[in-house]
Amino acid sequence: MSIVEKYPYAIKNWRNRDEYLREMPSSGYVKPTKYDLNFWKWEFLRRNGKYQELYASFERYKSDWDEVIIGDLKDFGLYFYINPLRDSGYQSMPALCNIHKLPDFEQNNKYRKEYKNYTDEVALHSVLGQIAEVQQKGGVFISIDLNLPLEIQFQKIKKILNDNRLITISKTISNVRPSEWLTYLRILDAYADGEEVDVISSIIYPEKSNEYPDFVARDVVRKAYKKGKELMDNFAIGGNKVETNGIVSF
């Protein structure tokens, strides 16, 4: 692939709204109607100039691993490099929450019949490895007994996390409406293209006035860009959470 030297660069043609609708292999373009967090994290993350530049360095130096700083991926919550131009990149992002049932003694006895040297004890490192293959920021292993009431365990877990300061969310990104996130993506791409604010407003907000002295549309674009950049620089990378309701509509 050709290496882009300007970051951030636009992912899609911001003038064409249809390009921003989610593509599903089986049914073509359909709009995302449920709050798919990883989908949105990827959409904002791949517009982050620092990630774009890191991926470009990977493309440039992947034949010489000494020049590629793999550890930097952890800053973006990723296990491996994903091309920013890949629409389906969200499918390769780490799961937001993993669950894996631990093997029981009965299951282990089946192995003992086949492998005589298999012990009663179950080594959990291989099981846990399926949940978190590499070290990452913010991961915690929690053991839940499915034979006991879950609500009581959830309360205890929350208390333990708080008491040990394992809940480290330092900033809450509020007042961001998922129904506007698609518009934020378009505006981020427009800014990356170096487009003038008045041109952006005339295409994305044609119904809003942009006359002197108020310049309402211009102000709306700038505020939307600020929100989009906040999502791109914080929410997409991790360490923060977004307060929002569950449904996304366009």
* Best CA proximity match to 185, nearest among 43, 84, 50, 85: 43
Residues 46, 27, single domain; the answer is yes
Query: What digits encode the pLDDT tens for the residues 136-193?
Result: 555 677 888 888 899 999 999 888 888 877 665 555 566 667 778 889 999 999 999 9
More confident residue, 235 or 229: 229
End-of-domain residue from the set 92, 122, 144 = 92
Which of 4-18, 33-47, 94-108 holds the top average pLDDT?
A: 4-18
Residues 86, 107, single domain; the answer is no
Q: How confident is the model at residue 10 (pLDDT cuts 50, 70, 90)?
A: very high
Residue 210 inside a domain? The answer is no
Tell me which of 10-24, 117-131, 144-158, 230-244 is least confident: 117-131
Residue 143 inside a domain? The answer is no
Query: What digits encode the pLDDT tens for the residues 184-214?
Result: 999 999 999 999 999 999 999 998 877 777 7
Residue 205 inside a domain? The answer is no
Residues 21, 79, single domain; the answer is yes
Q: State the first-to-last Cα distance of the chain, in angstroms, to the nearest integer.
A: 33
Residues 76, 50, single domain; the answer is yes
Residues 86, 21, single domain; the answer is yes
Residue 156 inside a domain? The answer is no
Residue 229 inside a domain? The answer is no
Q: Is the pLDDT of residue 102 over 60?
A: yes
**Number of domains the chain is built from:** 2
Could you please report the per-residue DSSP string of the chain?
Answer: -PPP-SSS--SS-TT-GGGGSPEETTTEE----B--HHHHHHHHHTT-HHHHHHHHHHHHHTTSGGG--GGGGGGGT-SS---TT-GGGGGGSPPSS---PPP-HHHHHHHHHH-TT--SS---HHHHHTT-SS--TT-------TTS-HHHHHHHHHHHHHHTT------EE-S--GGGHHHHHHHHHHHHTT--HHHHHHHH-TTS---TTT-HHHHHHHHHHHHHHHIIIIITTSS-EE---SB---
pLDDT at residue number 205: 93
Residues 29, 86, single domain; the answer is yes
- CA distances (Å), origin 201, targets 4, 16, 71, 125, 212: 27, 14, 40, 54, 14
Residue 127: domain span: 100-135
| Mean pLDDT, residues 104-122 taken together | 63
Residue 37 inside a domain? The answer is yes
Residues 29, 49, single domain; the answer is yes
HSE, side-chain direction, 13 A CA sphere, residue 145: 6
The alpha carbons of the chain give a radius of gyration, in whole angstroms, of: 23
Q: How open is the CA angle 198-201-203, to the nearest 5 degrees? A: 115
Residue 75 inside a domain? The answer is yes
Residues 78, 31, single domain; the answer is yes
Query: What digits encode the pLDDT tens for the residues 25-76?
Result: 443 444 444 446 778 888 999 999 999 998 988 888 765 555 555 557 777 8
Residues 22, 52, single domain; the answer is yes
Residues 75, 25, single domain; the answer is yes
Contact 89, 82 (CB under 8 A): yes
Residue 178 inside a domain? The answer is no
Q: How confident is the model at residue 220 (pLDDT cuts 50, 70, 90)?
A: very high
End-of-domain residue from the set 37, 62, 92 = 92
Q: Is the pLDDT of residue 100 over 80?
A: no
Q: Is the pLDDT of residue 4 over 70?
A: no
The model's pTM: 0.71
Residues 46, 107, single domain; the answer is no
| Mean pLDDT, residues 232-249 taken together | 63
Residues 48, 82, single domain; the answer is yes
